[in-house]
Amino acid sequence: MENSKVTPRTLPGFMELLPDEQILFNEMKEIIRNSYEEFGFLPLDTPIIELSEVLLAKAGGETEKQIYRFDKGDTDLSLRFDLTVPLAKFVAMHYGELSFPFRRYQIGKVYRGERPQKGRFREFYQCDIDIIGDNELNILHDAEMPMVIYNTFKKLGFDDFTIRINNRKILNGFFSSLSLNNSAEVLRIIDKLDKIGIENVKNCLAEINVSTDSINKIIDFISITGTNNEKITKLKSLNINNEIFSKGVEELESVINAVRLFGIPENNFVVDFTIARGLDYYTGTVYETFLNEYREVGSVCSGGRYDNLAEFYTDKKLPGVGISIGLTRLFYKLNELNAVRFSRESIAKVLVVSASSDITPCLPIATTLRTAGINTELFLGDKKIKAKFKYADKLNIPFVVVIGEDEILNNTVTLKNMKTGEQFQVSIQEAIVILSKS
Amino acid sequence: MENSKVTPRTLPGFMELLPDEQILFNEMKEIIRNSYEEFGFLPLDTPIIELSEVLLAKAGGETEKQIYRFDKGDTDLSLRFDLTVPLAKFVAMHYGELSFPFRRYQIGKVYRGERPQKGRFREFYQCDIDIIGDNELNILHDAEMPMVIYNTFKKLGFDDFTIRINNRKILNGFFSSLSLNNSAEVLRIIDKLDKIGIENVKNCLAEINVSTDSINKIIDFISITGTNNEKITKLKSLNINNEIFSKGVEELESVINAVRLFGIPENNFVVDFTIARGLDYYTGTVYETFLNEYREVGSVCSGGRYDNLAEFYTDKKLPGVGISIGLTRLFYKLNELNAVRFSRESIAKVLVVSASSDITPCLPIATTLRTAGINTELFLGDKKIKAKFKYADKLNIPFVVVIGEDEILNNTVTLKNMKTGEQFQVSIQEAIVILSKS
């Protein structure tokens, strides 16, 4: 069956980019990584495969259904579905070897067997940072997260984005003061405020038997507007008498003050009492981030504070705070919207080509350029010079160095700028200076 | 069952490093990546999961037994076991969208369910480059591979390494000239030369019924010694009359000449007619690389030329040449042998700490340092100053900036060099200058 070929194809829901887009994707990953390292986060790289027993210690419901789980020999294995559970495992395993607060970043692929649809991926990169305390963790760490978000999205080329900050204790304390027994449902309705409007929120709340008095208080609560300071003042004036609520307000004020001290401009963060981020995981500060020109992308970076990272593995109390960027989806969306602001067009800065059929004189030239720190590709195919220029063009390589008989005689190279079309015969040293500068 | 914990553990055969080693591992990966990019290789990042039908189009034997294969729904999936098959799939799928010669690098994890043992991994990084031609590929590309190997291992801090180069056509042509019908077995015996010596090679060959005349010729062939040029001269003087053999010698000479033109020192490469690298895959030039001080590590970078990358997916003829570094095993071995030559000790260059209980004055200082491009960690825990210095020490952070009442009054910072113990009160600008330089 010599000629029966297998059709080459990639699974739906798995991103596989052509090189020009992969260059851009990698650039984005690098910017995020450098931003995380700027804040002193330490790298981790945990396995993609874990024992199901370990990975699913906590999971249930949706997660468990989506997981890639299989046996190898008689071992029950699963692919990680996030980077938080592996972190919990790692910290519990290596508690005695780590220095706390333990700051780690991890950028890696995770797997969720979701129904594939446009912009939804089954294999995708998460870019996570977390700070884990040993028994306690200063509230000021909660202010580091917005600073990392701010720094990262500025470096990705964005200015007009808003980090929304809340504290779950405010919501929890408020609901507790109303003696609601269905706060999860209430939260879900509030969450739709932007979509359905105030009146519909009222109706929905009435439908699940929230008292008129409570509905009015909820509407007062979610209708608070103004500057960040005004919002906190108005919140206090609601006179809600609940310890958890008061603790939440106090924490939020500390975080907001610290966020200002870090230097985040006032227009890049807002206090938003309605955001909740997952119903049972976060226990304090929570974050969402929106690109204001591209609201349809949804939150591009979210996270929050949790009381106990690794309770399924250890009795140690390990409070933490963290954020995550879903890189694969974000890249896909930005690309689709033509909203990629950073750029990197090529790997090689220069293509060295021969003007004659003898290519060998190009070899030491390429080495000289590389030794000077210039990414250099050598064209070794037996093509006409025009085809060689076309190749550079297709790969967006900004310069071509041509070596012909003339250049060999004069001990020069011809350097062509592919964008302007200009070309000069210069010494190799001059070429290096020009290439290094541009 | 509040207190029934799951024991946190990582699967055997899966590398999971503590942060100080992970920093070093990542540095190694970065050096390799930068070296590959210096030669203009384009990045690819293919999925870890593929359709089994696609991934196993060619595989058989050992590979198939080791593979991680499972069903998700009614789809038969496998984890990639190398980066070559995904490349073949990719090139066959995207043939019309690529520019040839197509130069790609991929650095990623692959999976083989081998019996776990010390230094053997089931999940490991491969760092691959390949150059794929459309129907043809100039032999000079075969000389680029040793140049990349040379550049990479120099940057990893090694000087004393040897790239062994051969051409499979020489071996194939030579065996063909002897009319051997069991050349695979003969190769396997020759391969043991270093271990068992000439006499035992003779005996083994006799045992598999190689004629005395052929044995003598084989011994002459594998006994060739001298400089690279002397070896080729002696090889020619064997007067082997076989077209494939002659073609192999011609190719090898071209490669060796080009390797010299690239500037690889003569003591970093040797012609070695006995290396074969896999019995049926490579068809021309082949490479192995040894660190001479650490021969026990085995070949640290190998590869070669093949006639047809993607014959299981397409009728197009796609010759290629490539090399691969098994990063995980190499890092493990170098670390074990204390042979890591490159270094990176910390992510943060400076830890900012408060000398008083009010930490807030440190926040804008941290932002100022980061804005100046200095990786800065902020210590926000409520600890004694001694504990803060100890934290910096444990994380190998080379500098600490201390902010106390005195510094706030004088608008200065105290900068402490953690290695020398020296400390100075300087302006923040002076601190930036010192930190940027060191």
Q: Which of A289-303, B225-239, B269-283, B312-326 has the lowest mean pLDDT?
A: B269-283
Q: How many CB pairs under 8 A join A and B?
A: 267
Asked whether the beta carbons of residue A18 and residue B94 sit closer than 8 angstroms, the reply is: yes
> pLDDT at position A63, please?
74
Structure confidence by residue, pLDDT tens digits, A261-277: 999 999 999 999 988 77
Indicate if the pLDDT at residue B3 is higher than 60.
Answer: no
On whether any CB of chain A is under 8 Å from the CB of B7, the answer is yes
> pLDDT at position B187, please?
84
| Residue A221, domain member (yes or no) | no
> pLDDT at position A61, please?
66
B93, B101, B391: residue with CB nearest A8:
B93
- CA separation for the pair B153, B75 (Å, rounded): 42
On whether any CB of chain A is under 8 Å from the CB of B135, the answer is no
- CA separation for the pair B241, B237 (Å, rounded): 11
ipTM: 0.95
> pLDDT at position B183, please?
83
On whether any CB of chain A is under 8 Å from the CB of B99, the answer is yes
Residues of B in contact with A78 (CB under 8 A): none
Residues of B in contact with A37 (CB under 8 A): 347, 375
CATH number at residue B402: 3.40.50.800
| Residue A127, domain member (yes or no) | no
Q: Hey, which residues does A350 pair with through a beta bridge?
A: A376, A399
- Token pair 């950028």 in the structure block, residue: A107
B244 vs B59, residue with greater confidence: B244
- Token pair 């190279």 in the structure block, residue: A413
On whether any CB of chain A is under 8 Å from the CB of B57, the answer is yes
- CA separation for the pair B69, B50 (Å, rounded): 10
| Residue B401, domain member (yes or no) | yes
The answer to whether the peptide bond before residue A101 is cis (omega within 30 degrees of 0) is yes
* Mean pLDDT, range B380-405, rounded to an integer: 95
Host domain of residue A365: 350-437
Structure confidence by residue, pLDDT tens digits, B88-115: 999 999 999 999 999 999 999 999 998 8
User: Residue B227: pLDDT band by 50, 70, 90 thresholds?
Assistant: very high
| Residue A426, domain member (yes or no) | yes
* Mean pLDDT, range B153-179, rounded to an integer: 95
Structure confidence by residue, pLDDT tens digits, B263-292: 999 999 999 998 877 657 899 999 999 999
Q: How many domains does chain B have?
A: 1
Helical H segments across B43-182, by residue range: 52-55, 62-66, 84-93, 141-155, 168-177
pLDDT beneath 50, residues of chain A? 1
Q: Nearest C-alpha of chain A: how many angstroms from B5?
A: 5
| Residue A167, domain member (yes or no) | no
- CA separation for the pair B208, B333 (Å, rounded): 37
Residues of B in contact with A72 (CB under 8 A): 68, 113
Token pair of A431, please? 């070429």
B48, B88, B375: residue with CB nearest A48:
B48
| Residue B381, domain member (yes or no) | yes
Q: What global pTM score does this model have?
A: 0.95
Average pLDDT, chain B: 94
**Do B86 and B130 touch, CB atoms closer than 8 A?**
no
Asked whether the beta carbons of residue B9 and residue A51 sit closer than 8 angstroms, the reply is: yes
B 360-399 → A contacts, CB under 8 A: 360, 363-364, 366-367, 370, 375-378, 380-382, 391, 394-395, 397
B310, B347, B391: residue with CB nearest A41:
B347
Q: What is the number of alpha carbons within 13 Å of residue A4 lying toward its C-beta?
A: 4
| Residue B129, domain member (yes or no) | no
Asked whether the beta carbons of residue B43 and residue A94 sit closer than 8 angstroms, the reply is: no
B 234-253 → A contacts, CB under 8 A: none
| Residue B320, domain member (yes or no) | no
Residues of B in contact with A315 (CB under 8 A): 3, 5
Helical H segments across A264-361, by residue range: 327-336
